[in-house]
Amino acid sequence: MAITMEQLLATLKATGEETRLRILALFKNGELTVTELVSVLRQSQPRISRHLRLLCEAGLLERHREGTWIFYRLAYGSEQAKLIKSIMNFCPYDDQILQHDQERLVEVKRERDKKAAEYFEENAKNWDKIRSSYVPEKQVEDFLLEEIKGKKIDDLLDVGTGTGRMLELFSSYTKHGIGIDLSREMLAIARSHLEQNDIDHMHVRQGDMYDLALSDHSIDLVIFHQVLHFADDPLAAIKETARILRNDGCVIIVDFLPHKIEKLREEYAHRRLGFSNSEVSEWCVATDLKITKTEVMKGRELDIGIWIAHKNQKSI
């Protein structure tokens, strides 16, 4: 459907103001909260909130509330979303003001990542215990093994491998596996687990889920087990995953369903309070993956979602 005159005018009006254009330029990658935008733009919260409201009303940004945090991101899928994407292609990102904003955004993100990294550094030794207190582990793991039964997995990637539990679990069914993680402390534990269990066809290395440093079409199965709720930009991570998946390759996402346990942000460095089916579906639609199965598992305090998606719609 073509854009209406009214929508076009609303988009141009909303975009045609310096602060709002600066805000839109900051959404090049991922989602941001009001607090983060305030830190980058150094304007008052009510002012930024007013601009955000206007951008949402014009259909250029979308917002979702999770507990006390509200996340904003560029609209997706609508005619206005397509229009704003095209307009932003003309944005002079080398302009001094915009460049300065990008630099401050990098700082704000670095500060946030530092907190998460410190959390994993401090908690690497206790991670297996922490995970099992929130996740019905046995049930999830039995389900995953049942899913891959009889399937040929030459190359597996475990993203955010932590202490390497998924590498151990899948080791008997995989020819070769890699686990990547940002945290050296987590990787050190993963390495020693693999060694203790004589698993020498699964390796770990430091790596970033947004830039996997792997060739296109090189992996059959990618696992995100309890990782994406730490991510700034889950869609970008799924995009990078779709790139390295072979045709018919599979991605398994295990994460919390939406919840309200706010303390997980402060105490456990979670960025997101779980994900809904529709959000995971949006990532998959945007990256040409097709969800072939979803499963819900009841935990003691939190429910777990398992999403299985394939590239090019067939099964592995």
Ligand X SMILES: C[S@@+](CC[C@H](N)C(=O)[O-])C[C@H]1O[C@@H](n2cnc3c(N)ncnc32)[C@H](O)[C@@H]1O
Could you tell me if 63 and 269 are in contact, meaning their C-beta atoms sit under 8 angstroms apart?
no
- DSSP assignments along 55-85, one per residue: HHHTTSEEEEEETTEEEEEE--SSHHHHHHH
- Is the four-CA dihedral 129, 130, 136, 140 of positive or negative sign? negative
The CA distances from residue 257 to 124, 229, 285, 294, 299, in Å, are 24, 10, 19, 12, 10
Q: Is 84 exposed, middle or buried (0-12, 13-18, 19+ CB in 10 A)?
A: buried
Residue 77 CB, shortest distance to ligand X, in Å, is 26
Nearer to ligand X, 170 or 230 (CB): 230
Nearer to ligand X, 23 or 227 (CB): 227
Residues at the contact surface with ligand X, assessed by CB under 6 A: 120, 131, 160-163, 165-166, 180-183, 186, 208-210, 225-227, 230
Nearer to ligand X, 14 or 269 (CB): 269
Nearer to ligand X, 162 or 249 (CB): 162
Place of tokens 């932590």: 162
The CA distances from residue 43 to 38, 228, 248, in Å, are 6, 30, 48
Residue 113 CB, shortest distance to ligand X, in Å, is 8
Q: In the complex, which residue's CB is closest to ligand X?
A: 162
Residue 162 CB, shortest distance to ligand X, in Å, is 2
Could you tell me if 251 and 309 are in contact, meaning their C-beta atoms sit under 8 angstroms apart?
yes
Could you tell me if 199 and 171 are in contact, meaning their C-beta atoms sit under 8 angstroms apart?
yes
Residue 163 CB, shortest distance to ligand X, in Å, is 6
Residue 234 CB, shortest distance to ligand X, in Å, is 10
Nearer to ligand X, 21 or 116 (CB): 116
